[in-house]
Amino acid sequence: MTPPARPDPKTDPLLASLPEHEGFKVLDGRYVIFDILGQGGMGVVYRGKHLGLGLQVAIKCLDPVLARRDPQFVMRFEQEARAAARVDDPNVVRVHDVASSAGLYYMSMQYVQGENARQRVQRKGRLAIAEALTIGIGAVRGMTAAHHAGLIHRDIKPDNILISTTGEVKLADLGLAKVEGDSGMTYSGATMGTPRYMPPEQYDDAKRVAPNADVYGMGATLYFLLVGEDGIDGKTLPEVLKQVGSLPFPRVRAKRPEVDEALDELIARCVEKDPGLRPADGAELLAALEPFAVPGQGDLSDEQAQPTLLGVSMVSPPP
């Protein structure tokens, strides 16, 4: 299948003021921009190349309208870059730089070619158990590295788990990351994250969540990988809130009885409504999950994966 054509960055109004070199826009005199990879509530992500290093990168640019409207957006954008830069781990997308030029605030980060976990399930259907576990364990390792750095991701979901064509798993998009013990940039009482993958306490106040909030998101993600559909399937926010707040999270074995009972029980613990009943953090979940891996199985390399950028979904502006 031929991937859809991407918009031409030369016609992107966000880059209108940038000079051109050999037909390509150049940012900050260092980055040649090739194409647009994605866009969302806070800006646009481009694929480019660092001229000095010859390194292919992803470049995330904050929408200048937001930057002019409220300095909080700039502060939050820079916070994302600093948070991601604190985590140096092979299972986390690496941020290289954050700067501003020609009125644009941008960060450059590791470019990953492949697909995210949601795209993989959409392409293949529910995954083989060994494959789902390999993806899950890789993502939990990245989550554990973030927790060791004092960060809580707060947006763990299949869309933010990347699988490269060579089989690497990387956790991405620390845009909502919170430094433990710090109020951060989240507005008091604001609900931030992805509703179907958020634990109940995150709806009340995203500032006060602990690492076990990420454990909930990972449990919901493991359910998705193994079953092929979201465990919380409400079509509207009120429906989602009702399911998250008052209905039990569905069990994996109800849809896939061949899954090990102990693995089913572990995932059920991850998505408990009471945070105290979940594994405390990434390290505790990793220790519990790794014994289910089958040596020699779960190879993730897949040349059929579409060559796209992963894990740079744009976070919607806070209310």
Per-residue pLDDT of 117-150, as tens digits, reads: 999 999 999 999 999 999 999 999 999 999 998 8
Instruction: Work out the pLDDT band at 65, boundaries 50, 70, 90.
Output: confident
Concerning whether 155 is annotated as a catalytic residue, the answer is yes
Q: What percent of the chain has pLDDT over 70?
A: 84
Please indicate, yes or no, whether the overall pTM of this predicted structure exceeds 0.85.
no
From 8, 70, 89, 155, active-site residue = 155
At a CB cut-off of 8 Å and minimum separation 6, what does 63 contact? 14, 42, 43, 44
Average pLDDT over residues 206-234: 92
Strands (E), the chain: 20-21, 24-27, 31-40, 43-50, 55-62, 95-101, 104-110, 113-116, 151-152, 161-164, 169-171, 178-179, 308-309
- Provide the pLDDT for residue 189: 33
Give the residue-averaged pLDDT of 9-22. 83
User: Whole-number mean pLDDT of the chain?
Assistant: 83
Nearest CA to 220 out of 240, 192, 239 is that of 240
What mean pLDDT comes out for the span 145-159? 90
Q: How many CB atoms lie within 10 A of CB 276?
A: 8
Average pLDDT over residues 37-57: 85
